[in-house]
Copies of this chain bind each other. A is one copy, B any other.
């Protein structure tokens, strides 16, 4: 019947499950992030700045795997919203330093329930999710490593 058996069905493409799952999770985040007036990548930027309140655009790009074409306008919107400040480095003026503001710091408290809410929505155990996370992280590093060769 099937003359070309090497062609996989959709559900056999593991890339599709990742792609669809990633978007499904963004949909779950949306109501929480809407309340904070944030988009998902903006939230990720804040997560990194809550850990360390000043970073360069280059650092953010490496951490989040995003390039300047994405980050520059995104950070400008965040600055307009008062969550961060963009300041040229005085020593090396090519570098743009991103600082979190008081308002950005305050959001940490309001956002603290988000991870728990998301966890609940998955309907999975902590152990199971940790295992998924560990596996996907391993795959991610593998893929990023391959790409740089």
On A, residues with C-beta under 8 Å from B are: 4, 6-29, 40, 44, 47-48, 50-51, 63-65, 108-109, 111-112, 115-116, 118, 121-124, 128-130, 132-133, 135-137, 139-140, 142-144, 146-147
Contacts and interface: CB of A to CB of B under 8 A. Distances in A.
A92 B132 CA distance: 44
B22 A18 contact: yes
This chain: copies in complex? 2
A144 B15 contact: no
A7 B142 CA distance: 27
Contact of A139 (B13, B63, B132): B132
A40 B17 CA distance: 13
A29 B11 CA distance: 17
